Structure 1
Amino acid sequence: MRNVLLAVDGSNPSEQAAKFLARIPHFDPVKLTVVTVVQPRFVHSSYATNELIQKAYEQDRQNAEKMLAKIEPLFDGADVDIQCELLEGVVGESIVQKAKELNADLVVVGATGHSQISRMLLGSVSDFVATHAPCSVLVVRPELLPKPGSPLRVCLAYEGTGPCQAALEEFKECPWHGNTELHVVSIATCLNDLYSDTSFIQHYKDDLAKAQEQLEEVSDHVITHFLEDVHYGEGITRFTEANEMNLVVLGETPRSQFSRFLLGSTSQYVLRHVPCSVWITRNRMIKNLKQGTQEQSKVTANR
């Protein structure tokens, strides 16, 4: 959470994404790179295109510069080193490439459309970035952001696995004390006869208790929920809608460049079905695992 890339395009969703990012607290100084992408114009070759394209391009640049100037004041007073940059190229691909160049920890984008159909449509910039970015991604849907003075209601999907623990640790890097309600949700799929195995149920509840203990270090209001559903993504979606969550946080299993093109993962399902903002933790080393690896390396080196 020290190196953040915010992509804006002048739309209301991207402006709301910037405002939401500005309200997220942080312990350490943040290097924030704000980018907007100017995509080249293409005109039929029968026109005298040179002058036309140049004028359109210059207008796009001017609009982009004005937009970046509006974003900067949102972070006044925060411990943020902000830099603005104008990119050229295809929008989604340019954002992903910039995230790679910066070695960003988090990419923040706004999303349009909040109906059930529009959330499931493929091809949008936010969907492309969320699918292809090499790091964690926060997709902000402005329609269900909390109103001023209202608490931020967060659902953290947790099941004790490595990706879920990584999401928990990334979330803990922000001090959420104050006006935040944090709901930690564990979904058990297809339990049926397993309900008779009390040790199996207790395993879920023990994981939730451990998660709650960790999160109470950064949040004053942590509530755990143990639920049953036939599908993990559907369970998270139903809980989010029923309890009017503003943000869903979940971890994603590290994937190769090829596997990112495949559909069906939990993170993609949740992103396309929940009505609120989604924070996906990706390709992040778990702190405890990293520390254990470092300690093991020291032991090996001393032999």
Structure 2
Amino acid sequence: MGTMRVLFATDGSASARNARDLVRSLAWPDGTTIQVLQVLPPLGALVDFGGPGRREAIEATARAALHELSAPLRRNGLVVDERLVRGAGVADLIVTEARKSNADLVVVGSRGHGTFATILLGSVGAAVTDHAPCPVLVARRPRLDRVVFAEDGSESAFEARRLLTKWPMFHGLQVRVVSVAHVTRPYQSGITATVFEGARQAEADIVTETRAAHERLAKESAEQLRLAGVLAQAELRQGDAAVEIVAAAAHSDADLVVVGSRGRSGVTRAVLGSVARNVLHHAHCSVLIARPSTAVRIEDAASTSATAH
């Protein structure tokens, strides 16, 4: 594939350094540009706090810290660009920069998982994943060896699979393709035993059919990944999709979950579907949120570059 444009948004925290280490460990195509972005408070807030001198001192400190954070990313074949922007609405500014730079990927850190992470992600991280024009990688681990890919047959999952096949960072990795069969149990209250027994039999038939469909989906998806050089194996699970995806990641000690931004039942909208959001908030590992049509844009750019040469 052609070069990539990566936007790494940092706040200088320990989680940002963790994300930096993950970015540093990945195999990027030669010529890839990594823009390291930090958002500073608006001018007015700094002037009120200590005047222009204080503002300049804070900005100089921020630039030095940004340079120190970015230094380990510099290596042959990569272009590292440091950028400070100033303003309110951190998430909006990150999304705006992603659009301006035509980013292929946005990387942000995460300070944990569960309820506390929900609060943190609610203000910045989740807003970025909701509105970014490209995939978003929420980094929780500094490495990438084992991957869980949530396959549900949706357009978003299709694009996620394309990323797994096109981006060189995934080649040679172990990828577990997880497809979750979810079947709603019949409601018993208020119906006769005969009717309920019929409903139970119908449910059993649906479960069998649904499990078979998801097993086939996982196997076919894993085969497509293997043909592209990814070490993939299929896994069928049954239950709540987000719960089972998180459990599969924990069971395999995955470093990353790759999930589409919305499933087959999701309406067309900017914000994340419930499965993607729950996985993002509860997974102990990094999470890559893929959006429809993004991979097509990357592949087209690569094809154009190849044709030009």
TM-score, normalisation: structure 1:
0.78
Measure, in 2, the Cα distance between the counterparts of 1:183 and 1:160.
15
Match of 1:214 among 224, 242, 246: 224
Q: Distance in 2 between matches of 1:239 and 1:158?
A: 12
How much identity, in percent, do the aligned residues show?
27
Q: How far off is 1:79 after superposition? A: 2.1
Relative to structure 1, the CA distance from residue 9 to residue 214 in structure 2 (aligned partners, 3 Å threshold; closer, same or farther) is same
After superposition, the C-alpha distances for 1:17-40 in whole angstroms (9 at most, x for unaligned) are 111012121345312211111112
Shift of 1:108: 0.5
Q: CA–CA distance in 1 between the matches of 2:131 and 2:230?
A: 34
Contact 2:261 2:289 in 1 (8 A): yes
Report SS of the residue matched to 1:61: helix
- Which position in structure 1 is the counterpart of 2:150? 157
What is residue 85 of structure 1 aligned with on the other side? 83
For residues 139-191 of structure 1, give each alpha carbon's deviation from its aligned partner in whole angstroms, at most 9, with x where no partner exists: 1124xx45xxxx7221100122221110011122223344x321110001017
The answer to whether the 8 Å contact 2:155/2:292 transfers is no
Per the alignment, residue 6 of structure 2 pairs with: 4
Supply the RMSD in Å over aligned alpha carbons: 3.0
Residues 37, 87 of structure 1: 8 Å contact kept: yes
Cα 1:244/1:195, change in 2 over 3 Å: farther
Give 5+ residue unaligned stretches, structure 2. Answer: 186-201, 301-309
Distance (whole Å) between structure 1 residues aligned to residue 156 and residue 250 of structure 2: 23
Correspondence for 2:261? 252
Looking at structure 1, the residues matched to 218 and 6 of structure 2 have their Cα atoms a distance apart, in angstroms, of 29
Cα displacement (A) at 1:75: 2.7
**Displacement after TM superposition at 1:41 (Å):** 6.2
d(CA) in 1 for partners of 2:249, 2:256: 8
TM-score under structure 2 length normalisation: 0.77
Question: Deviations along 1:259-279, whole A, 9 cap, x unmatched?
Answer: 446x75221121112122110
Counterpart of 1:182 in structure 2 is: 175
Q: Is the contact between residue 7 and residue 34 of structure 1 (CA under 8 Å) also seen in structure 2? A: yes
Whether the aligned pair in 2 keeps the contact of 1:194 and 1:200 (CA below 8 Å) is no
* Cα distance in 1 between the residues matched to 2:107 and 2:95: 11
**Within-5 A mapping of 1:54-133:** 54-90=52-88, 91-114=90-113, 116-121=114-119, 123-133=122-132
Q: From the superposition, tell whether residues 285 and 33 of structure 1 become closer, same or farther in structure 2 (CA, over 3 Å).
A: closer
Aligned length: 273
* C-alpha distance in 1 between matches for 2:79 and 2:49: 38
Residues 134 and 294 of structure 2 are in contact (CA less than 8 Å); yes or no, is this contact kept in structure 1?
Answer: no
The one-letter code of the counterpart of 1:225 is: E
Structure 2 partner of 1:139: 138
3-state SS, counterpart of residue 269 of structure 1: helix
Which has a greater percent of helix?
2
Larger CA deviation: 165-174 vs 191-200: 191-200
Aligned to 2:192: none
**Structure-1 residue corresponding to 2:275:** 266
Q: Please list every run of 5 or more consecutive structure 1 residues that lacks an aligned counterpart in the other structure.
A: 292-303
Distance 2:58 2:145 in 1: 35
Structure-2 separation of matches of 1:182 and 1:72: 29
What one-letter code is carried by the residue in structure 2 that aligns with 1:107?
V
State the shift of 1:203 in Å: 3.0
1:204 matched to 2:197? The reply is no
